Chain A
């Protein structure tokens, strides 16, 4: 069945470091892909999305490109801040309207 695999955390970086969180997926057809972020004590918020191959989603300095050939949607940011500390979830939506989430990657940014 459809699934999402993302790198396990926690990931610990210093402020201003480059961030990559890997995400790969398995799906039939052409799903939409998402990154959600969960700040401590809160629900998830949509960070960015891509709905077709080669689309690049971007928001708040984060980017991810929908790569159909490698079935990947890696999250990147050029210079992280302490305020980026959170849990990041990769997700896909097949055409049956049910969103499938990865297990989440906890990110710690040290000042």
Chain B
């Protein structure tokens, strides 16, 4: 099992550009989530999904879109990047009957 994979590892964007952060898991987990990690702020939930075709907003959803067309994939789209979106982004997944979340290695995004 590869677990949770994220691409790219690093990305630099200019203000106003759009991009998609990819996340995939091969554990057949129902639940997937996107978090951002900022210094002194811990992890904040952006969007999450409890199954294919179902998504919902977390604590800080503005400026981000998600979709869940398959169980395996949960991409995060930045529509028009802003410097405030400079952060490290983590994708996570878990089985519906389990408490343990599995995290990907993260994507470090810088918006200039």
Binding site for B on A (CB under 8 A): 32, 34, 36, 41-46, 49, 51, 89, 93, 97-104
Contacts and interface: CB of A to CB of B under 8 A. Distances in A.
A37 to B, nearest CB: 11
Nearest to A41: B105
A97 B43 contact: no
Given A43-B4, A43-B103, 4 more contacts: A43-B90, A43-B106, A44-B92, A49-B99
19 contacts: A32-B99, A34-B99, A36-B101, A41-B105, A43-B4, A43-B90, A43-B92, A43-B103, A44-B101, A49-B99, A49-B100, A93-B99, A97-B50, A98-B58, A99-B101, A100-B45, A101-B35, A103-B40, A103-B41
A93 B101 CA distance: 11
A49 B98 CA distance: 11
Contacts of A103: 40-42
A98 B45 contact: yes
Contacts, number: 47
B99 A45 contact: no
Nearest to A93: B99
Interface residues of B, number: 22
A7 to B, nearest CB: 13
B105 A42 contact: yes
B65 to A, nearest CB: 19
Contact of B42 (A34, A49, A101): A101
Contacts of A42: 105-106
B45 to A, nearest CB: 6
Given A97-B31, A97-B50, A45 B43 contact: no
B42 A102 contact: yes
B42 A46 contact: no
B48 interface: yes
A43 B99 contact: no
B75 interface: no
A36 B99 CA distance: 12
B109 to A, nearest CB: 15
Contacts of B101: 36, 44, 46, 99
